[in-house]
Structure 1
């Protein structure tokens, strides 16, 4: 079988020992078959209280610690993990399944393949329900919305991202969909401009709060929201649509 990047991955099914290097997919695996998850990154914060071996970060995983866990497969992601780490794990004899997710539809199809084809567990009920909820029609509002992800310097979500696609599925216009970069820097004066209807301020990766973020804007309304709802695929998709609709209201 082949992962999302077309790499052939030989797996014995059903898979019993998984190390996840992707926080979103850690949550997905824990929600589906928690006993199979033997390792995760320090950034894998959901579900709360997850007790598995930690293998450092998404960009600097401890490959020796991963090997010591004897996983049947390591789950990685094209954007979140380094190709170097994937290659060296494979060279050490560890099967690595790499996902590639830039849209909501791709998230659903990628996770279906991961659970059904790669892990041999079948499609989980929570995934079926999340697909159903996001398939419900939405009324287009035409509002131009930006998503800030950092300040000093200010950065926003740009082109070809899961978050940008999510905005479109919520009936609003992603203001920076045609940006030259996926996460461009932008002057605050340009962000606080009259052609925007709203700037969303999530709580990750920068932790925007009521006292840190909204006060910088004089013209454009802002709304605090969940970073997980905007950027995580997995079980958070069950509630993300309602959570984000409330923030956009």
Structure 2
């Protein structure tokens, strides 16, 4: 089966499940994992500006899209000519079924189950031993954060963080003063590439707070990615437990 993936984390999952470059025949420019395999797969634009003619030329049997990451009109245009599977992953359970469905679709059920079990194992072990209020920023100018109906929120909650914007939905814009309640401000490495200088800017307002850059992929890439983040979460939690111990 020839497949085009319009979703970076799903492209990674397909290769993790054992598909090859002969089966994954198209991807977006943001599909960067696994590096050594995606480099041989033709690009069909970005997640929000798909090149429909390029996809037509590839003649895939199946296109994998996502409700949040792709543009509805572009996906609907593809549906006129191709079989399109539209995914929507907001919870850990959604992710479980995403992998289960991919496993079923590509006859890789056993591999999908191995990844699902690994993800549950990692999330069960990754627990902070006290409540830490967090603000997780994904964008700057304006600052944007995450509401409770996002996958990132679910991962944070699973680990034991309390999202101070849990009463909001999707990706609300916020002001610097809205961060006052947070113990920790996390600056995600993507989609906005936060750097050290951005920590310094916020430190001027909040010298007392812990402000840190976190691996955006570990929190936002659904599919198989979390199965590889065990060490990362372990280190993060050790750092948080130390921080909490020091300040309380």
Q: What TM-score comes out, normalization by structure 2 length?
A: 0.85
| Displacement after TM superposition at 1:61 (Å) | 0.7
Flag the 1:221–1:150 CA change in 2: closer, same or farther, 3 A. Answer: same
Q: Please give the secondary structure, in 2, of the residue aligned with 1:200.
A: strand
Give the counterpart of 2:7 among 22, 27, 30. Answer: 22
Q: Please give the secondary structure, in 2, of the residue aligned with 1:146.
A: strand
Provide, for residues 128-153 of structure 1, a one-character-per-residue CA deviation record: whole Å limited to 9, x for no partner.
Answer: 32233324473552111110111221
| Displacement after TM superposition at 1:115 (Å) | 2.0
Match of 1:65 in 2: 54
Q: Which runs of 5+ in 1 are unaligned?
A: 1-15
Match of 2:244 in 1: none
Flag the 1:129–1:225 CA change in 2: closer, same or farther, 3 A. Answer: same
Provide the C-alpha distance between the structure 1 equivalents of 2:33 and 2:126, rounded to a whole number of angstroms.
29
Alpha carbons 1:225, 1:244 under 8 Å: kept: no
Alpha carbons 2:123, 2:159 under 8 Å: kept: no
Aligned pair 1:53/2:42, yes or no?
yes
Provide, for residues 44-84 of structure 1, a one-character-per-residue CA deviation record: whole Å limited to 9, x for no partner.
Answer: 11111322010001111111111211211000111111221
Flag the 1:63–1:123 CA change in 2: closer, same or farther, 3 A. Answer: farther
Match of 1:12 in 2: none
Alpha carbons 2:148, 2:154 under 8 Å: kept: no
Match of 1:83 in 2: 72
Give the counterpart of 2:192 among 184, 196, 206. Answer: 206
Provide, for residues 149-173 of structure 1, a one-character-per-residue CA deviation record: whole Å limited to 9, x for no partner.
Answer: 1122111112300000101100111
Map 1:128-167; keep pairs closer than 5 Å: 128-136=117-125, 138-139=127-128, 141-167=130-156
Aligned CA-pair RMSD: 1.8
Higher helix share: 2
Aligned length: 229
Alpha carbons 2:99, 2:224 under 8 Å: kept: no
Provide the C-alpha distance between the structure 2 equivalents of 1:213 and 1:150, rounded to a whole number of angstroms.
13
